[in-house]
Amino acid sequence: MTKIGVVQMNSGTDPERNLSQLKKFMQGLQLQGAKLVVTPENTVVFGSKADYQRWAEPLGDGPLQQQLSQFAHQLGIWLLIGSMPILQPDGSITTTAVLFDDHGKIQAHYNKMHMFDVNVADKHQSYRESDTFKAGDDIKVIDTPFGKLGLSICYDIRFPQLYGELRQQGADIIVIPAAFTKLTGRAHWEVLVRARAIETQCWVVAAAQWGEHNETRETWGHSMIVDPWGQVVACQQQGTGVLTANVDLQLANKIRTNMPVADHARLVFSHIQ
């Protein structure tokens, strides 16, 4: 059984402000005994295309990642940064989840696969992530001391094929860092998070942004940890803050034994195009 912590943030365009907020939350989670901390999408910077371009770093190199590495090492906590802008060798930028171990070493990363290119009836109206970020191609399931960790980010949640593949590759815990809009979050966030847990029979750890970020961007919050039966065991509805839950992989094994849906499945999604 492992205690996992989730940080709900209100990130903005200033990385130093965001990282200062994060460090305080991580210190509190360390005192509560968390061994893995998961943060939202856009943890390090949440802003415009120009902001992401300004602060993007090559993977494993740069002052922002150095600070995050130090946080993880000093506190002795595995840290999953929900996403930050990463500069690719070809000059493009990805929105990337980065996993640091308790020594501050990067153990894995995941480039968000599905770009949020949609129209929403809110103040922002039109979202075009592909204008800023290059979509990723690789599915990631990572061995950790807490079980196999399946990585995803925000809009990915609407594509169950990806989560079926994460389960097929052995995921025990699936993380969904997010910055869901208030409008779409109110309508779909909880049901999607719970559905991904139910269909994969995995623990799901969903860390969210909350509140107003500028004149047009407002996010839903409602970070949660959901068990493999689809029950919400912890939730931070509004405001910034933290939540924790003890994640028991034996519960997942029991549910999978009693209801072996993976063995019964007749359609297999072998690759996400």
Kindly list the catalytic residues. 41, 112, 154
Phi, psi for 135 (deg, rounded to 5)? -70, 145
Count of C-beta atoms within a 10 Å radius of residue 117 = 13
DSSP one-letter string for 164-211: HHHHHTT-SEEE--B--BHHHIIIIIHHHHHHHHHHHT-EEEE-BBEE
75, 212 in Cβ contact below 8 A?
no
Structure tokens at 84: 């930050």
Residue 151 pairs in a beta bridge with 175
* Residue among 140, 161, 159, 162 at smallest CA distance from 151: 140
Helix axes 63-75, 15-31, angle to 10 degrees: 10
Say if strands 117-119 and 93-100 run parallel, antiparallel, or are unpaired. unpaired
